[in-house]
Chains A and B, each alone.
Chain A
Amino acid sequence: MTETQTTPSTMQVPPPPVVRAALGATVPVAKEAPPITIELRDVSAFYGKKLAVSGVSMSIRAHSVTALIGPSGCGKSTLIRTINRMHEFAPGARVEGSIIVDGVNIYGPGIDPARVRQRIGMVFQKPNPFPTMSIADNVAAGLRFMGIRSKSELRDRVESALKRAALWDEVKNDLKKPGIAISGGQQQRLCIARAIAVEPDIVLMDEPCSALDPIATLKIEDLMRELARDYTIVTVTHNMQQAARVSDQTAFMLMDPGDLAGHLVEYGPTSDIFTNPKDSRTEDYISGRFG
């Protein structure tokens, strides 16, 4: 295995998909300074002819939590969906610019979006476990796409993912039950387990707590901090306290009244954004003057 910064997993890492081989290995890792794992270069996203996100450039650091904040309609959900090529799943949607993940442009020629998504997991706004699959099969779904067939390996990896998602103790006796037979907060942790079971490098979370109660939200936030030790987390949130609590870096986005598209206004360490914003619009937003 030639990975330089994979997760400290005790299990055998599966045969590397092409993208992982292409993405990994090339960047030498200095232990003290985490390498940059995602670099957005002039990314614009369209729905048909409509520009939704305009010219965003930013660098997202490995093994940290980066929060995208901003009022509704500012394009933060669209932007996060460009990072694993889910944006183009909508009819007529396309992306311009490039996103470099560990040295490889995921919008480059010959890149398989399905492989990109295996390396960049995603957790959605509403918990979406697969209702026709059991809890265990939900977690194993992505592993099966990677070609893992061995029952014992699947079982071990399902258990490990559920443990890291802090769900194992609650479901270990119900693994055969349908994925929708548990509470909303548990379902969302199941979706997180499902995303991390394939050992991705990056986990994207699109408002993962917006459908959850405060206690379930806190659990997910703790989990995000925990996961940031092994994964690069990018999250979208409406909730500024949440961004302040969980993130290392914060990006503030805003819809420009001129072109009605989302722009990146300010991006920096979370403490700076919240205590000492450079842009007056950021200050207005975080102090609750609009949005």
Chain B
Amino acid sequence: MTTRDLSRPRRPSSLQNRLQLGDWTFRTLTGLAGLVAMAVIVGAFYELGSQAWPAIKHGGISVLWDTSWNPGRQEFGVGVFVIGTLITSMFALVAATIIAVLVSLFLVEVAPGYISRPVSYLIELLAAIPSVVYGLWGIFVMGVFVRDHFGPVVVSTFGWIPIFDGTPLITGLFSACVILTVMILPTVMAVSRDVIAAVPRSQREGLMALGATRWEMIRLTVLPYARSGVMGAAILGLARAVGETLAVTLVIGNSVRIPDNIFSPAYTMASVIANQFPEATGLHQSALIEVALILLAITFIINIVARLLVWKVTGGHRAVVQE
């Protein structure tokens, strides 16, 4: 170790551009990482597309709305699965977002710290429960409750409305919707709680100082401010709901039929792949890969639409968060 002469501070010897090795390495590494991410998406589309090609040639575009799936007779209409996936994930999206926003508002605006901290920790813990556990709970606890208590009450009260007129079983569309809601709730809630807590204090105080009540303050500053973030949170949840496989497969009933009421057994795209792929060969296998391709495309479209929506809501510029 040498001692520097402190009386003469070290200065750059020249103002010439030096070789910025660190910068170059950093740019290259991050650029490669970005390429890998894009390659994965393109590769997934290509691989699924090429393996699904026999089924696409066999069924054409009409499989999208064709609802007869019968591998024995070489019928591969995926309409039932698309409907099942859309119904369950949309229900979960709406229900989980509403609950998450209400819980977040309670935790951030109402509850004192000694309540909000443990409660948010517990809710985040829900995200760590494996989906098979959700599925088994859905069958043995929730499903039984739906069949014996909740279902009969709904049918006898609202049975005159067609979609509530069914036979509640342990498994079915409704159970799948509830399970999905519970499963995506922690994600949506954790993110919306953070965006609600990030609303600047100066904004809240500005409104309170005008004589707003707490609810007016929430409605006029907290919710508009957090709106784009909450939508982002909902999209994260939706992406999970669309792809969730195991728990849904256990509770949805796996029946290739268009559901006609909330208790009907149904099927989702992810569950049909999980159920049939191990035994599938030939055209059947190719058709299942086609289902996967459609699932990927749906996720892709949902994400693009969601982005456009967030973009529109925030008026074209990025989130207005500024302290």
Interface residues of A (CB under 8 A from B): 84, 86, 89, 91, 114-118, 121-122, 124, 126, 128-133, 141-142, 145-146, 180, 191, 194-195, 198
State the Cβ distance, B266 to closest chain A Cβ, in Å.
40
Cα-based distance from A82 to B38 in the complex (angstroms): 57
Known interface pairs A130-B220, A131-B322; A89-B210 also in contact (CB < 8 Å) = no
Interface string of B39-78 (1 = CB under 8 A from A): 0000000000000000000000000000000000000000
State the Cβ distance, B248 to closest chain A Cβ, in Å.
38
A191 touches B206 (CB 8 A): yes
- Indicate the member of B112, B205, B320 with the most A CB atoms within 10 Å: B205
Interface membership of B154, Cβ < 8 A? no
Known interface pairs A128-B202, A130-B221; A141-B320 also in contact (CB < 8 Å) = no
Interface membership of B243, Cβ < 8 A? no
Known interface pairs A126-B202, A128-B203; A121-B209 also in contact (CB < 8 Å) = yes
Known interface pairs A89-B205, A124-B202, A141-B220; A131-B320 also in contact (CB < 8 Å) = yes
State the Cβ distance, A18 to closest chain B Cβ, in Å.
12
Interface string of B199-237 (1 = CB under 8 A from A): 010111111111111001000110011000000000000
Give chain A residues whose Cβ lies under 8 Å from the Cβ of B210: 117-118, 121, 141-142, 145, 194-195, 198
Chain B residue, CB-CB nearest to A120:
B209
Give chain A residues whose Cβ lies under 8 Å from the Cβ of B112: 91
Known interface pairs A130-B220, A132-B320; A198-B211 also in contact (CB < 8 Å) = yes
Interface membership of B113, Cβ < 8 A? yes
Contact partner of B209 (CB less than 8 A), chosen from A86, A129, A132, is: A86
A-B contact pairs, 9 of them (CB 8 A): A118-B210, A121-B210, A122-B209, A126-B202, A128-B205, A132-B320, A133-B220, A142-B210, A194-B210
Cα-based distance from A89 to B208 in the complex (angstroms): 9
Cα-based distance from A117 to B224 in the complex (angstroms): 23
Give chain A residues whose Cβ lies under 8 Å from the Cβ of B208: 86, 89, 114, 117
Cα-based distance from A15 to B205 in the complex (angstroms): 25
Give chain A residues whose Cβ lies under 8 Å from the Cβ of B204: 89
The count of residues in chain B whose C-beta lies closer than 8 Å to any C-beta of chain A is 22
Interface residues of B (CB under 8 A from A): 112-113, 200, 202-213, 216, 220-221, 224-225, 320, 322
Give chain A residues whose Cβ lies under 8 Å from the Cβ of B213: 114, 145
Cα-based distance from A131 to B323 in the complex (angstroms): 11
A141 touches B209 (CB 8 A): no
State the Cβ distance, A231 to closest chain B Cβ, in Å.
15
Which 10 A-B residue pairs are closest in the complex by CB-CB distance?
Answer: A118-B211, A142-B210, A132-B224, A122-B209, A128-B202, A128-B206, A117-B211, A131-B320, A114-B211, A145-B211
Chain B residue, CB-CB nearest to A146:
B211
Give chain A residues whose Cβ lies under 8 Å from the Cβ of B320: 131-132, 180
Chain B residue, CB-CB nearest to A191:
B206
Cα-based distance from A118 to B211 in the complex (angstroms): 5
State the Cβ distance, B92 to closest chain A Cβ, in Å.
28
Cα-based distance from A84 to B212 in the complex (angstroms): 13
Known interface pairs A114-B212, A130-B220; A124-B205 also in contact (CB < 8 Å) = yes
Cα-based distance from A129 to B112 in the complex (angstroms): 28
A124 touches B211 (CB 8 A): no
State the Cβ distance, B201 to closest chain A Cβ, in Å.
9
Cα-based distance from A128 to B320 in the complex (angstroms): 13
Give chain B residues whose Cβ lies under 8 Å from the Cβ of A191: 206
B206 touches A117 (CB 8 A): no
Contact partner of A195 (CB less than 8 A), chosen from B209, B216, B221, is: B209
State the Cβ distance, A22 to closest chain B Cβ, in Å.
15
Cα-based distance from A91 to B212 in the complex (angstroms): 18
State the Cβ distance, B221 to closest chain A Cβ, in Å.
6
Chain A residue, CB-CB nearest to B213:
A114
State the Cβ distance, B98 to closest chain A Cβ, in Å.
21
State the Cβ distance, A85 to closest chain B Cβ, in Å.
9
Known interface pairs A131-B320, A132-B320, A198-B210; A145-B216 also in contact (CB < 8 Å) = yes
Cα-based distance from A191 to B205 in the complex (angstroms): 12
- Indicate the member of B205, B209, B220, B225 with the most A CB atoms within 10 Å: B209
State the Cβ distance, A135 to closest chain B Cβ, in Å.
14
Cα-based distance from A126 to B203 in the complex (angstroms): 10
B209 touches A117 (CB 8 A): yes
State the Cβ distance, A90 to closest chain B Cβ, in Å.
9
Give chain A residues whose Cβ lies under 8 Å from the Cβ of B206: 124, 128-130, 191, 194
A115 touches B211 (CB 8 A): yes
Give chain B residues whose Cβ lies under 8 Å from the Cβ of A133: 220
Give chain B residues whose Cβ lies under 8 Å from the Cβ of A91: 112-113
Cα-based distance from A146 to B291 in the complex (angstroms): 57
Chain A residue, CB-CB nearest to B214:
A114
Give chain B residues whose Cβ lies under 8 Å from the Cβ of A194: 206, 210
